[in-house]
Amino acid sequence: MPADTCEITRDDILSPEEYLTRRKDLKHRIIEIKKNRRISVGPDASFYFENYDTMWMQIQEMLYIEKGGEQQIVDELSAYNPLVPKGRELVATMMFEIEDERRRAHELGRRGGAEHTVTLKFGDHIVAAVPEADVERTNAAGKTSAVHFFHFPFTDQQIDAFRRSSDDAVLGFGHENYAHMAVIPKAVRAALAGDFA
């Protein structure tokens, strides 16, 4: 898995037979990578910061499960390549993880627009998350989705500060019904700094 690239190509995809022989080792490797790419914010939200490796593995798993052949490969590359960081950004999947179905429906109904209030702050810098624009994640009734995809666009100065600053980096929501934040652990911050070209 060549993690120094910003796009997954057809040539990167293993055949079903090769993937099957390597799947156990690859899954173990990706679990280790993901350990320093997850941040919990408040009681319900988890951010999973994506990179080439996590998206490559997602594509391979989808192909392994669904066995859709060449057309599925095209579709999966189209779906997941936008979530591979492009050198001057961080990219995250965020999930409101609420097991109880009634509580989940109630809380999501109170959090409409929360996806537009996510920021990453460090030192004097504030990076506002940009929700993936494929579909609107809050419906007309004000209910937000349980799953969101975010891009955090950085300037060169912000990249340098994120890498070098000793100030805490804080990820959070500014929503009236979900105003939570979390300090990014040093190991996670170091892993995320590697996403910049």
- Give residue-wise pLDDT tens across range 124-180: 999 999 998 776 677 778 899 999 999 999 999 999 999 987 889 999 999 999 999
Sheet holding 89-96, edge to edge: 38-41, 45-50, 89-96, 147-153, 130-131
Q: Specify the pairing of strand 130-131 against strand 38-41.
A: unpaired
pLDDT tens column, 55-111: 999 999 999 999 988 999 999 999 999 999 999 999 999 999 999 999 999 999 999
Q: Distance between CA 132 and CA 118 in Å, rounded? A: 13
pLDDT for res 135 = 65
Hey, is 153 helix, strand or coil?
Answer: strand
Contact 132, 150 (CB under 8 A): yes
Q: Distance between CA 38 and CA 105 in Å, rounded? A: 24
How much is the pTM? 0.91
Beta strand segments in the chain, E? 38-41, 45-50, 89-96, 118-122, 125-128, 130-131, 147-153, 169-173, 181-183
Tokens representing 62 are 């989808």
Q: What is the DSSP letter of 97?
A: -
pLDDT tens column, 23-49: 999 999 999 999 999 999 999 999 999
Residue 104: CB atoms within 10 Å: 15
Residues near 92 by beta carbon (within 8 Å), at least 6 away in sequence: 47, 48, 49, 50, 129, 149, 150, 152
Contact 122, 167 (CB under 8 A): yes
